[in-house]
Amino acid sequence: MRYLMRVAKALVFTCLVCTGVAVHADDAPAHATDKQLADAKCAIGMEKFLPGDYFYCLGAQNYGTQHIEAAQRFFKEAAGWASKPAQYVLGIMALNGDHQPMDRPLAYAWFTLAAERNTPRFVQPRDALKATLTKDEAAKADALLADLRRTYADAVAAPRAERRYHDGMAALKDTPGTSYCMEGTQDFRDLAQGKTQPSCPPTAQIVQYVDKQANNVFEDWTGHVTVGAIQPAGTP
- In this prediction, the residues of the chain whose per-residue pLDDT falls under 50 are 1-30, 188-189, 191, 230-236
Cβ atoms within 10 Å, residue 93: 24
Give domain limits for the chain. Answer: 1-220
Q: Please, what is the angle between helix 135-152 and helix 104-114, to 10°?
A: 50
Residue-level pLDDT at 228: 53
Q: Are 195 and 181 in contact (CB under 8 A)?
A: no
Q: Determine if the pTM surpasses 0.85.
A: no
Residue-level pLDDT at 195: 55
Strands (E), the chain: none
